[in-house]
Structure 1
Amino acid sequence: MVNFSSDKIEKLLDLIYDAAAENDLWPHALTAIADLTHSEGGILFGQSVTAQRVYFDFNGRLNEECNRAYQERHMNNPWSQYMETQPVGRLVQSDQAIPLSKLQATAFYDEVLRPQEVGHNGMIALAARDDFRAAFNMCRSERRGPLDPDEERLLEWLSPHLRRSVTLGFRIDGYLAVQHAAFDVLDRLADGVVVLDHKARVLFSNAAARRMSEEGALRLHHSIATHSPVHSQRLNELVRAALQGTAGGTMSLPRNQDGRLLTILVSSIRSKDLGRLSDAGVKDAAVLLFVVDPANRRSIPLGRIMDAYGLTHAEARVALASSSGSTTIETARALGLSPNTIKTHLRRVFAKTATRRQAQLASLMASIGSVRVADVDWEQ
């Protein structure tokens, strides 16, 4: 009788759930299950028989050459055909799919099973969607025979844990992929983006920020500074304030080459959107800086801002113009509108974007809309 409360079982469960985040642990988990069930070995894989493609496989002590033969020539076999119609989570003994005597007459048996002395299999579909299936196989020798009742009970008991771990693994992998893609987007922003940790050390800088560093406007080594001691002191004050949990702030910085003003927006990382940065392989993220060159404001498509927050065309133009730090009068002059009209549009913009002042709006515009787009007209 299987003791489901034994130390071995508890350690196995820990291993199964740890494998969700660390795939290299799956072969160890499969080998441990094989030992407990007196099996030759196990395999966990995701595949599409229709596409004839194996997307991933983790092998616990089975023959790799036989596994390659399976992937190259025998994905469509009596076992896989039978499992295509089986519900997720159900343990199926291979003899239910096809008797061993008939299996031995197939090329699948000759090339995949016979070389590793496998004749029986315990199979569980762990996930299924369209023509994709994630599956677990515990392979048995002909001498050992099919799973006995105790071994069946163990695999049936493990089935929901295997399913949860695989599903969790999909989510973790998908989340990491999204986060890596997000950093790819950050690297294409026209504005500089810098992420600092709780000790004000640089964790991440995008391509635009690195270019500003090469040009001398910023200094990005272990910490962030500017070419000017006075401006560096002001920047340090804003970073310290953000580290203490305040909203941060905004400052201007003359470019070293032509004196054109850059705007630096400093914000603590607290919102659910910015919080993702600290989970995407960038540990201890605490402060986010946008370094905005007003000349790049023309690179933001108004449609992107309108879609993101439900702004009208006129409101998006005002939000974009105001994000460079201009006063109400300067924005009115630039857009050919009255100051009262600018104020009216800004009130609506603040309400729709959940911001309260222009510094917050500028940070928002920098974060959502400054991907380079060629030949975009600011007055569109």
Structure 2
Amino acid sequence: MTLSSDRIEKVLDLIYDAAAENDLWPHALTAIADLTRSEGGILFGQSYTAQRIYFDFNGRLNEECNRAYQERHMQNPWSLHMEHQPTGRLVMSDEAVSLGELQASAFYDEVLRPQEVGHNGMMALAARQDFRAAFNMCRSVRRGPFDPDEQRLLEWLSPHLCRSVTLGFRIDGYLAMQQAAFNILDRLADGVIVLDRKAHVLFANVTSRRMAEEGSLRLHQSIATHSPAHSQRLNELIRAALQGAAGGTMSLPRNPDGRLLTILISSIRSKDLGRLSDAGVKDAAVLLFVIDPANRRSIPLERIRDAYGLTHAEARVALAASSGNTIRETAQSLSLSPNTIKTHLRRVFAKTATGRQAELAGLIAAIGSMRVGETGSEQ
């Protein structure tokens, strides 16, 4: 299978653009289907505990069959095999179950047979406890399994798909950039820095500029840290992002107290970012988030309730547990029994698609990333 670099580049652009504009996922999936001679593809997120599909993006597959899947076949021979697969690993459906066995299932009769689908390339893109974001590329029985070249193409796309989904989940500021809302970025409690293709600083929000004033970062024409060793690591990750790699994460001791900051580095491919001429930002290529876990103000319970559909009691427990306290400490602070705390936490984990207090803390921190004034209004 011979593919032009232009076709591959267009697919990559769609994949990364979809991180900021979810409506592009069906187009990206259809483009991948065309490259691999597939019937179509789908990208979805689901939780077995909550029995809920959080999102699904359909690229040319039958919607009626998709509804049958969501209503009756979330657990099927393919999904059962994928439950414990690592993220980013391409799995061929014939590895999970033979076509003959598959054809004997109700899942095949209701979901696959009407679409003449018999083979699938499957990949977990993100996982938290029993929550999975997954990618499926479906092939007809007539075409048969994917050939080695098509498998290699899907494997090559794997880190880009994973990275795009992660961006869509975790970087709320990315959407603010897409909408040219740089005033929103200035209101984030986390540092946000945008670099161009020469690694020059195009934009630094108020928080990142404050970090520069205290000496943790250096934001002149380029970016550096107060530590030569950490500057070298940061520059390596930036260079990798500029060359099209998925990105990376590093820690940096805060100056002067040594408290660890986390820096997330990601490449930017969205064409929308190239349209931000009114904001004076052109050729944006790399996005950095600088996160100080201790820089969190009190978060209104209403934000947590609204974000994940929690009850008032569940939101109180989620906020208390996210601070790093043990079950017993949380129970004492809320004047509840440890068993009541455990019951609430189980429901919170199911609704937020998390499985540990550390993961829950990350979500709560994201909600708290907007600076809040003393009166409760956003600043």
When normalised by structure 2's length, the TM-score is 0.48
- Higher radius of gyration, 1 or 2: 1
When normalised by structure 1's length, the TM-score is 0.48
